[in-house]
Amino acid sequence: MKNFSELIAQLPARHHIALTWFFRNMGTEQTWPKPLPDGTLLASKAQGIYKPKWTKYCLSIRQSLSSRYTNQEPEMRSDRTWSFLYAEEVSNPRSRDADYANRSLIACIKDMVPVGVMRQISKKQVSRYQILGVGVVLGHYDGYFLIEGFAATGLARGLESPEDLAALVDEQTKGIEVAEMFSPHSIIDAREKTLASIVRRRGQPEFRHKLLEAYGGRCAITGCNAVETLEAVHILPYRGPETNHVSNGLLLRADIHTLFDLGLLAIDTATMKVLLAPSLVSTTYGVVAGRSLQLPKDENLRPSKEALDQHRTWSTL
């Protein structure tokens, strides 16, 4: 299993030293962190996602008590690992992926570069922060970045096993649904978001039925014909009944659906072949890299290349 030391070994010295500061100070409470001896800043007061000018990656994220974004509380586990959902900087789906801060975290997903995490716990007189530690950004889901934290042993969950990653995503998205359902200020909006989340995972019955027929009851990538494991995938996010069109859909096995949603798998429309994140090539999912997408015989039912291209652009593959 990859550990913290291995993941930061190839980073430039100042990046390596900055992340080591977060790792060594995990679990402590501090005032605003001072610059390192070489002048490197550890966080930004202007923005929650801090991307220094000297790197394309996010160095740290900061949760503020006065933030307009709805971040979830971190889940602390008995093995001292933790999981945290951090809201995107931009809520509008059309502009969020163009935001340089969000892009810096997406780059961390692609190359498995860890980030430091700190949370404001008090702002009376002098603000104080909990240094949560260092985590790996495993995915980008429904407006949140999923971050898995290292324990003091240097180990974190979800780094090697895609099956474990899928379980983590399911666990965390359930947390979003519960939190939104109990929002007293936006009940209607919460219900709509909860329904959208459920629909994205399973697909409305009619939408799924049409995809099952179009793809002959087989996963478009693996060829799996166990119908119980197949899910109706929205290539572009669910935005109402009009997005439940077969051309905006794929029939995928549940675990492949998860990788697609996280941007760890995409389709090259020039060849209609599967692109896979480098971090997964050496895993059991490596066999699908370069595999041709199995298309419906009826051309009218084939997936929209424009939609697949938009998904690929978001995934950065």
Q: Give residue 175's pLDDT band: very low, low, confident or very high (50, 70, 90).
A: very low
Chain mean pLDDT for the chain: 81
Record the tokens describing residue 59, joined without a space.
């160095």
Per residue in 260-280, pLDDT (tens digit) is 988 899 999 999 999 999 989
Give yes or no for a contact between 172 and 186, defined as CB atoms under 8 angstroms apart.
no
User: Which residue type, as a one-letter code, is found at position 251?
Assistant: L
Record the tokens describing residue 275, joined without a space.
């692109």
Residues whose CB is less than 8 angstroms from the CB of residue 269 and which lie 6 or more positions away in sequence, other chains included: 305, 308, 309, 312
Give yes or no for a contact between 62 and 119, defined as CB atoms under 8 angstroms apart.
yes
Place of tokens 């090539």: 281
Residue in 230, 213, 212 with CA at minimum distance from that of residue 222: 230
User: Which residue type, as a one-letter code, is found at position 268?
Assistant: D
User: What are the CA-CA distances from residue 11 to residues 23, 54, 255 (Å)?
Assistant: 15, 12, 31
Reported as half-sphere exposure (CB side, CA atoms, 13 A), residue 248 has a value of: 15
Per residue in 129-161, pLDDT (tens digit) is 999 999 998 877 556 787 889 999 998 876 655
Instruction: Give mean pLDDT, residues 37-58.
Output: 94
Strand runs (DSSP E) across 230-272, as ranges?
230-234, 249-253, 265-268
Question: What class is the 4-157 domain?
Answer: mainly beta
End-to-end CA distance of the chain: 24
Q: Give residue 211's pLDDT band: very low, low, confident or very high (50, 70, 90).
A: very high
Per residue in 286-301, pLDDT (tens digit) is 999 999 999 999 999 9
Helices within the chain (DSSP H only): 4-8, 13-24, 93-96, 100-111, 162-181, 187-202, 205-214, 254-261, 305-315
Q: Is 212 helix (H, G, I), strand (E, B) or coil?
A: helix
User: What are the CA-CA distances from residue 91 to residues 3, 187, 238 (Å)?
Assistant: 32, 19, 15
Domain ranges of the chain: 4-157, 203-315
